[in-house]
Structure 1
Amino acid sequence: MEDFYIMKNRNKIAAFLLAGALAVGHGSVVYADVVWDLCAMNEERMRLGIQEKNIADNHVTNDANIDVEKHETPQSTSEYADIGIASVLNYVNLRAEPSVESEALGKLYNNSAATVLETVTDEAGEEWYLVSSGSVENAYVKAEYIKVGDEDLARGVSTRYATVTTTTLFVRTEPGTEASVLTMLPEGEDVVVYDALEEYGWYRVSTEEGLGYVSGEYVTIRTEFRVAESKEEEKERLEREEAERQAAAAAAEAARKAREEEERKAAEAARRAEETAKKAEETARKTQKEAAGKAQAEAAGKAQEETAKTAAQQSSEKTQQQTQNAQQAQQKKDKVTQTVSNGQAVVNYADRFVGNPYVYGGSSLTNGADCSGFVMSVYQAFGISLPHSSSALRSVGYGVSLSEIQPGDIVCYSGHVGIYAGNNTLLHASSPSTGIKYTSPVTYREILAIRRIF
């Protein structure tokens, strides 16, 4: 449009000059009118050209808008706007086509999330969503099984984590470096974020010692959903879990046999000691009898009798002690025999260390261990190698639900871990102030995962 007005002014100037020239040369201004008419015609031609261009541009713009409406996803007003959450009893299949007859590519379990890409309608008029979740991409699921755009639900089924990126991170009682230290977290540890003071660069997180604050400078933040499991992933998981169960059972059996062998040797030693004591007692009685028969003088007889009594008494006390030791060894063996499961054996062993100290970074069951060090060292006694990290322990063994929990299962919390002891009770290295202890109920904090080794 700017070019049009520039050209118009140029035409007027040219018209003035030409009109003047013609007027001087011919003594008439008729030609000037012709020139002005030509100028007007040029201006009209340019105006029509611009209008045509605008109309063409509008058509292009409208076509582009139509294309956007057809193919582009509208901008989300929330990060959860295009998140769909499965609402089913167990799982719903993700399929290759919008049909229940098509191939199942994976499973979306209850409260798992998927990104909704498109809504389609099948031949029967039923709605399906085109979704992606985990490694399952561009799959279809019936719309009736998915809740979309429910931000409260999406927030409720997701977990926001802060991962420590420094060697040791202080968790403080208030958001600021001047606040007192609540506890410490090692590098790589995950804790659940409950609130964000992003304008100040601090996050409120959950620890065993309670809610505290960490600086955003030393953590990375992520939001996790449970996602779909492909057919291949399900097969690999089941095979891995079965292999881990067999390996754990073999290790537990080997540890059980080793304990039984130690107890057998102890019982055998106690039996031999008892036999030796009996022989000593018989020898003492025989010596006493012989000494009494051979005594000639009263003083000598009394001395011999006193010696025999002393020997008999000492031998009897020794026999009683050895018998008691043998009984204790047998009772210990009976206790192991009565163990109902390998998991219960883990609890029985861990119980020996109740009352021992909590030491940050430690793994000694007697001198001090932290929560993951306690779990690691207890299972190490059964031939099982586990990581010294509460977040890493969320991936060992295989997962079970709270309704399926059994003694010996590993219970994972935000920045903490322990061993389920049965009767709704947790056995764990709690904190520096309480050490290794029992806590009930096991749901005293939000449980992130339950993992089973045996």
Structure 2
Amino acid sequence: MKTMIIYKLTTLCLTGALCFSFGGIKVEASNLSSFGEEGIASVLTEAHTADPTIDEKVVDELTPSEYEGICIAQVNDYVNVRSLPNEEGEILGKLYDESAGTIEEEVDGWYKITSGSVTGYVKGDYVVTGEAAETLAEEVGSRVATVTTETLRVRSEASTEASILGLIGEEEELTVTAEEGDWVQVSIEEGDGWVSKEFVDLRTDFVQAESKAEEEARLAKEEAAKEEGKRKAAAVAAKTGASQNSVLGNGGGSSSGNAVASFASQFVGNPYVYGGTSLTNGADCSGFVMSVYANFGVGLPHSSSAMRSVGYGVSLSEAQPGDIICYSGHVAIYCGNNTIVHASTAATGIKYTSPANYKNILAVRRIF
């Protein structure tokens, strides 16, 4: 512990980020740099003698906030990022509501920030900074665990002795709901379970600014996906004939989307098999969606995380039969009437679930 603290003290004093007091001794960055490691160790030893719990206190005090220097937009839609700290500056991009950036400097009520690929100025009235931003970051940031092993065992408790709640494949991205020592709690279809940090990569995601070029590219990609969807829908219509409503009688959406939902519904009651792709003998969640769409000539990845970027995005309120609903570690097909059909778990197999937002929805993707 002491070696780690000395390292922290040395690192922080060299960056000029240190001014603190403990054990009755005040230490500033301006004079700590002259102490050297031996001097720092001496200061720490003296402080530790005065207060035996000083090791833990120093670590807490000297660990910078993960979100230090962050700013977060608080607007109805977005705030423009400009080339100059005034309204005359060229618009370089957009910082959307609850998007985050890193503050580089403040100029006359404007902040120069970097967010994503965009560096420019935003008006201070539209962003939260300082401790308020660090607190807000905990709410708007998404903690994500990416699986780094071929098959991850998600356990009911933070112990290798605990029962296995579910299995998740490599490169899947899971929403983190809690952290405890060497373990993180993640959300999967079977519920919230625990995985060792040894088998995942952790990160915190924030929505970031979008440059004008990125916005144009995104809109063009979405338009191309819609045109491709129309082409595929025409092919499906030719194959299936007249318009079909989903099994649940929603009646909304395209004939091709309803055809997908109706076809998927035929397999309710069949088994769930981890890694499987058979609609009759067993499939996992992404294998089920992949195989349903394969019947209509559409190739999809065998990964719930990868399916978050297929087709184009719509909101849940706009969802139509055939849309793909993406969750943490899970994926389903929307049937209409706020209901999904999915390969749920080994215990339940392929089934209907309502409402569709029975757990947090990460994306709704439309193919047709």
Candidates 337, 345, 353, aligned match of 2:267? 353
> Which residue does the alignment assign to 1:27?
none
CA displacement 1:130-181 (0-9 Å, x = unmatched): 00111112x0111111111323321111111111111111111111211111
Q: Is 1:130 matched with 2:112?
A: yes
| Per-residue deviation, 1:340 | 4.6
Alpha-carbon contact 2:148-2:199 (below 8 Å) kept: yes
Report deviation, 1:406: 2.5
Q: Is the 8 A contact 1:252 1:382 kept in 2?
A: no
**Alignment partner, residue 253 of structure 1:** 234
- What is the aligned partner in structure 1 of residue 76 from structure 2? 89
Look up the equivalent residue of 1:175 and give its one-letter code. Answer: A
Give the TM-score of the pair, scaled to structure 1.
0.63
Q: Does 1:406 align with 2:313?
A: no
Q: Name 1:242's counterpart in structure 2.
A: 223
Confirm whether residue 98 of structure 1 aligns to residue 85 of structure 2: yes
Question: Alpha-carbon deviation of 1:230?
Answer: 0.9
Q: Which residue in 2 is equivalent to 1:112? A: 99
Q: Which residue of the partner structure matches residue 423 of structure 1?
A: 337
Given residue 237 of structure 2, which amino acid in structure 1 is its aligned partner? Answer: R
d(CA) in 2 for partners of 1:353 and 1:100? 58
User: Could you say which residue in structure 2 is the equivalent of 1:157?
Assistant: 140
Is residue 167 of structure 1 aligned with residue 150 of structure 2?
A: yes
Q: Which stretches in structure 1 are left out of the alignment for 5+ residues? A: 1-60, 63-74, 122-126, 261-332
Query: Shift of the alpha carbon at 1:258?
Result: 2.2
Q: Return the alpha-carbon distance in structure 1 between the equivalents of residues 287 and 69 of structure 2.
A: 41
Cα 1:161/1:189, change in 2 over 3 Å: same
Task: Look up the equivalent residue of 2:139 and give its one-letter code.
Answer: G
Identity level (%) = 57
Which of the two has greater helix per residue?
1
Please give the root-mean-square deviation of Cα atoms over the aligned residues, in Å. Answer: 2.1
Structure 2 counterpart SS, 1:217: helix
Please name the residue that 1:179 is paired with: 162
Per-residue deviation, 1:381 = 2.0
Structure 2, gaps ≥5 residues long: 1-29, 32-61
CA distance in 1 between counterparts of 2:214 and 2:258 reads: 31
SS in 2 for 1:343: helix
For structure 1, which segment, 144-153 or 361-370, has the greater mean C-alpha deviation from structure 2 after superposition?
144-153
Alignment of 1:370-409 (within 5 A): 370-409=284-323
1:185-241, CA deviations, whole angstroms, 9 ceiling, x for partnerless residues? 11111111111122xx11111111011110111111111111111111111111111
**Matched ranges for 1:274-285 at <5 A:** none
Q: Cα distance 1:335–1:175, how it changes in 2: closer, same or farther (>3 A)?
A: closer
C-alpha deviation, 1:404, in angstroms: 2.6
Residue number in structure 1 paired with 2:125: 144
Contact preservation (8 Å) 1:81, 1:148: no
Task: Determine the C-alpha separation between the residues in 2 that align with 1:420 and 1:393.
Answer: 14
Say whether 1:190 aligns with 2:173.
yes
Number of residue pairs matched by the alignment:
302
AA matched with 2:346: P
Q: Bigger CA drift: 372-381 or 218-227?
A: 372-381
Letter in structure 1 aligned against 2:87: V
d(CA) in 1 for partners of 2:139, 2:112? 23
Aligned equivalent of 2:65: 78
1:394-434 Cα offsets, whole Å, 9 max, x none, are 11122222333222221111111111222221221110111
Q: Which residue of 1 aligns with 2:44?
A: none
The answer on whether the counterparts of 1:248 and 1:384 sit within 8 Å (CA) in structure 2 is no
Higher strand share: 2
Q: Distance in 1 between matches of 2:155 and 2:366?
A: 33
Letter in 2 for 1:416: H
Give the alignment's TM-score, normalised by structure 2. Answer: 0.78
| Structure 2 CA distance for partners of 1:239 and 1:334, relative to 1, 3 Å | closer
1:58 maps to none
Partner amino acid, structure 1, of 2:99: S
Structure 1 residues 230 and 334 mapped into 2: Cα distance closer, same or farther (>3 Å)? closer
